[in-house]
């Protein structure tokens, strides 16, 4: 099964509930994937507003 992405926080999700925001608004229609290991030192994580390490989608429809 293809991973889904949360529409509100862009976290990659395996099921139907986002582990980050606990929301159920997930979508199988996403583009680009990025993994953050250290969000404090990452310029891209700062620009995206990401605070927790993990796997994120760049664009979610």
Residue 35: give its domain's CATH number: 2.20.28.90
Give the model's confidence band at 1: pLDDT under 50 very low, under 70 low, under 90 confident, else very high.
low
Range of the domain at 9: 4-60
- pTM value is 0.85
In the chain, how many domains are there?
A: 1
Residue 46: both structure tokens together: 């700062």
pLDDT in tens, 2-49: 789 999 999 999 989 998 899 899 999 999 999 999 999 999 999 988
Length of the chain (residues): 61
| DSSP assignment string, 38-61 | -TTT-HHHHHHT--S-EEEEEEE-
How far is residue 5's CA from residue 12's CA, in Å, rounded to a whole number? 4
Tell me the three state secondary structure of residue 6. strand
**Taking the C-alpha atoms of 40, 41, 42 and 46 in order, what is their torsion angle to the nearest 10 degrees?**
40
């Amino acid at each position: 099964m293809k991973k889904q992405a949360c529409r509100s926080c862009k976290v990659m999700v395996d099921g139907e509930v986002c582990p980050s925001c606990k929301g159920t608004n997930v979508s199988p229609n996403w583009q680009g994937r990025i993994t953050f290991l250290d969000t404090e030192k990452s310029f891209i994580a700062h620009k995206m507003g990401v605070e927790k390490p993990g796997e994120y989608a760049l664009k979610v429809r």
